[in-house]
């Protein structure tokens, strides 16, 4: 699907809700499918169409547990799997955003250079009409993720060919400083098993649409 068409579909709940409505769109899908790139493209495009407060970006990646917490829990080798996120904190943030408070809401992100979450990189202003959030597990029927989904109006599943996802994930790991051998081992031993968890939720009843994004157009 093309970006312009997806922008039209993303904005529809806002229009249907009328003045004062804030909608939350969730983009689920396996690692490397292009969720974060699409989310930013949607937000940027909708701001150009409807004004600076039209949409805001809220990544799940800001709720990665820190390296110290992963080490404490013995999960360093499973980084990116469901238990390595503060899903309850994420659900609480979505609840705040859905209630549309009369103040700025600050949103964390993940810094790939630091390989750590960072606080308050994004902000959602009171006037924002559409929140676009994205993360691997938004469609999964797992504890915590169900609660987060209560605050999401629509869940879309962004898919991509497995070979293309592997290529992107390998590039990501190489850019992060791993050797080619280390990068391949991480992708096959961690990212692709995580993708299997996500793919099991692809056809869930709460997923409104499934598509391959054609990229910037």
Q: How sure is the predictor about 9, in pLDDT bands with cuts at 50, 70 and 90? A: very high
pLDDT of residue 124: 98
Structure confidence at residue 217 as a pLDDT band (50, 70, 90): low
Per residue in 107-158, pLDDT tens?
999 999 899 999 999 999 999 999 999 999 999 999 999 999 999 999 999 9
pLDDT, residue 215, reads: 79
**Mean pLDDT in the chain?**
96
Region 48-53: what's the mean pLDDT?
A: 97
pTM score, whole prediction: 0.96
Distance CA 181, CA 132 (A): 35
Mean pLDDT along residues 203-214:
95
Summarize pLDDT for 90-119 with one digit per residue, the tens. Answer: 999 999 999 999 999 999 999 998 999 999
Angle among Cα 13, 39, 165 to the nearest 5 degrees reads 130
216 confidence band (pLDDT: 50, 70, 90): low
The token duo for 43 is 């937000």
CA dist 37 and 33 (Å) reads 9
DSSP line for 61-100: GGGBPPHHHHHHHT-GGGTTSGGGB-HHHHHHHHHHHHT-
pLDDT, residue 214, reads: 79
For residue range 196-205, what is the model confidence (pLDDT) as tens digits?
A: 999 999 999 9
Find the mean pLDDT for residues 183-203. 97
> Are 194 and 29 a contacting pair, CB within 8 Å?
no
Coil, strand or helix at 54: coil
Q: Distance between CA atoms of 119 and 113, rounded to whole angstroms?
A: 15
Provide the pLDDT for residue 19: 84
């Amino acid at each position: 699907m093309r970006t312009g068409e997806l922008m039209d579909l993303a904005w529809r709940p806002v229009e249907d809700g009328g003045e004062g409505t804030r909608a939350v769109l969730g983009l689920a899908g396996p690692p490397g499918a292009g969720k974060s790139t699409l989310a930013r493209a949607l937000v940027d495009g909708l701001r150009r169409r409807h004004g600076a407060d039209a949409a805001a970006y809220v990544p799940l990646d800001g709720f990665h547990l820190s390296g110290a917490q992963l080490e404490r829990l013995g999960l360093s080798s499973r980084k990116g799997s469901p238990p390595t996120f503060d899903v309850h904190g994420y659900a609480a943030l979505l609840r705040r955003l859905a209630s549309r408070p009369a103040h700025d809401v600050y949103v964390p992100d993940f810094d790939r250079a630091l390989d750590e979450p960072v606080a308050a990189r994004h902000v959602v202003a009171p006037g924002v009409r559409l929140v676009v959030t994205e993360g691997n597990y938004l469609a999964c029927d797992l504890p915590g993720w169900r609660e987060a989904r209560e605050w999401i109006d629509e869940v879309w599943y962004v898919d991509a060919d497995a070979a293309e996802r592997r290529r992107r994930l390998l590039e990501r790991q190489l850019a992060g400083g791993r050797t080619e051998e280390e990068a391949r081992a991480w992708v096959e031993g961690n990212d692709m098993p995580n993708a299997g968890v996500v793919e099991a939720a692809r056809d869930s009843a709460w997923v409104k649409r499934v598509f391959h994004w054609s990229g910037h157009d």
